[in-house]
Amino acid sequence: MKKTLLLVSFALLAGTFTFAQQGDGGNPRTQLSTAKAINFEHRQFAKPDLAALKAEDLINDEQKTGPWRFGHNHYTDLNLQNSGTWTALANGGAIWQLALTCEGALTVNLTFENTVIPEGNELFVFNPEKDFILGSFKQYHTYEGQLGTELVPGNTAIVEYYVAPENMNNMGSLTVGTVTHGYRTASEYMEKAFGSSGNCNMNVACPDGIPYENQIRATVMLVSGSSGFCTGSMINNTLNDATPYVLTANHCYSNPANWIFRFNWQSANCSNPGSSPSFVSLSGATLRSRRTPSDFCLVEITGGLVNGTVPDAYNTYFPGWDNSDTPPTSAVCVHHPSGDIKKISFDDNALTSANGMGSAEANSQWRLVWDRSTTTEPGSSGSPLFDQNGRIVGQLWGGGASCSNLSSPDYYGKVSYSWTPAGSNSTNQLKFWLDPNSAGNTVLDGFDPISNCLSTYTYSVTPELCFGDDDGAVTVSFTGGNSSGATFNIGTGPQASGTFSGLSQGTYTVVVIDGDACPTNVTVNISGPSQLTTGGGVTNETVANNGAVNLTVFGGTSPFTYAWSGPGSFSATTEDISGLAGGTYTVTVTDANGCTTTTNFTVNSVVGLVDLDLVNFNLYPNPSNGVFNVVMDNADKGMYAIEVTDLDGRVVYTASMNGDSHTIDLGAKANGTYMLQVSNEKSRTIKRIVLKK
């Protein structure tokens, strides 16, 4: 570790900082200084052996047997007395500053020990570019003197501790115990491993995830041991009192006093955003119970609470649980794979009991194989498994599932095996904490602690007028909540308006989040007619003008109107038409909504033997393989027109005959039935001929 002085101009520190993701917000007190420049100590840490670290990571990543490690910890003992630089401020107070640089790091995060922050004093951590700030931290953000920070982007984190004028004789204390060199991340945006998960992972805002809005609100990403990512979930207890319990995996365990709990880090849309979404964090927890044979760990968040629980602004939810050991008929997992934004995975089949992770207890795990091309990855460890009722039944222990191995199973430690194991007590069971009043529940529903949420909602639906036109619409509104800043999401991303148009028929879920971050799901159905189509029976013409079409209309909305057209000047407005000569007839049907469909019907002319006077002739062979001979009776010799048509009325052969015979060659035509007409000015005869080659 190298020790130098860092010169930072006041102009840099006086800039506008971004909104604090962790702490109470605000700006460092260096803005109160009138100094032109501030010199303060700069400690540098050497780059670790990254090749060796990544070789170790390959082993852990394959089976999810530990937190997804992103960093290497440098252990230090840097405090207000042995490091940093003190600077007096014009208001009579003072600041202590220390810059910490990890050579080649992508991110830097810290843990503090022996922390005492008297009222009026403040602690901040930020990067030199002044575009990322953590704090202000007060005493209530710490637990047993410990505090962990979120990941600061880049290779340098600056610590600034402000002492108020009235506390110059009561300065407090703090020690930087760990400086973490972050070496794994996939994003140029701030500190996150944003976008690093496999491309088969589904964002929670996709339509499949909308019914699980509450379970999504409950899931958090953990920074464990200052250098690893896991997933956990808030969880309810039988008092429904919003005690901030978090359930995760025992193999994610480290001292929870400096854990980070990251809330609401997720895409607002189904697609991955172009830059990392915002988030909020709490730090510090106390261990309540944990156990190896079912791989569970239950902690209680201690830092940054409001009225003993997670602040309302964090919009969290406390899911219920099922300890009955009844196999779920389907399951959902919400998780942070590879330290990425929140994802969701689905198993649409019944779960089975198993012992796939080497537990000493048979059937202590739920075994599943993911569906819908979803999966988990390292970093998903500890993620909650929700049954078909949205209740927690386990936490991710391990398995081989990945985007490249979707058929490999995952294993979840069962809540039922963690509830009251034989010989257990409060340190290694869930019941003591999640059933504190001994209610004896085997199942418990979730609890939403947010007050002043919207109480009622209404919606109006515009049906789809014509099938397939996608002209349905819905408008959702609510009363009883804070409408300022409310958003509505039907699966295409949040919007300020509750009106959605261009919808096809079907069922939709609209997620409404009011101005107090209170969510509710509104399920609506867009109705509409079935597709407008027609059918009918055709009666062919067998004698002059005796064809007909009997029309049948399917779907649409009655009453209907009809517009027929046909050969010559034919037209009609009735449903059925009759008295037809051979030919094609077209009908356009219009329903009550203005929807239309157009259909063609062909009436074939199969007039039997005679029209006008009979022309007498012999025809052979019939059927024929191509050549037909026409031989006139002696009395009918003369000039005749010969015409052959198919059954659709198309002319396929014409000729003139002057004499007593004629040969017709249809060898190039398709097999089938044809109509032969022999006629002159006074008479004609039509006969059916069959071509069969």
Catalytic residues: 251, 295, 381
Can you say how many angstroms the Cα of residue 461 is from the centroid of all Cα atoms in its chain?
A: 25
Full DSSP string of 501-566 = EEEPSEEEEEEEE-TTS-EEEEEEEE--PPP-EEEEEEE-BSSTT-EEEEEEEESS-S--EEEEE-
Amino acid found at 155: N
Q: Using CA atoms, how far apart are residues 606 and 186, in angstroms rounded to an integer?
A: 77
Q: Looking at residue 83, what DSSP letter applies?
A: S
Of 228, 188, 225, the closest CA to residue 57 belongs to: 228
Q: Using CA atoms, how far apart are residues 54 and 40, in angstroms rounded to an integer?
A: 34
Around Cβ 10, how many Cβ atoms within 10 Å? 14
Length of the chain: 693
Q: What's the number of CA atoms in the CB half-sphere (13 Å) around residue 597?
A: 20
Residue 389 tokens read as 């009722």
Number of H helices, E strands in the chain: 5, 51
Q: Using CA atoms, how far apart are residues 204 and 215, in angstroms rounded to an integer?
A: 10
SS3 of 581-592: CCEEEEEEEECC
Q: Using CA atoms, how far apart are residues 565 and 605, in angstroms rounded to an integer?
A: 18
CA distances from 551 to 104, 545, 560, 578 (A): 79, 18, 12, 11
Residue 120 tokens read as 């009026």
User: Computed from CA positions of residues 376, 381, 387, 391, in that sequence, does the dihedral angle turn out positive or negative?
Assistant: negative
CA angle 105, 111, 116 (to 5 degrees): 145
CB-CB contact of 281 with 236 (8 Å): no
Q: Using CA atoms, how far apart are residues 691 and 300, in angstroms rounded to an integer?
A: 89
Around Cβ 59, how many Cβ atoms within 10 Å? 10
In DSSP terms, 588 is beta-bridged to 563, 598
CB-CB contact of 240 with 447 (8 Å): yes
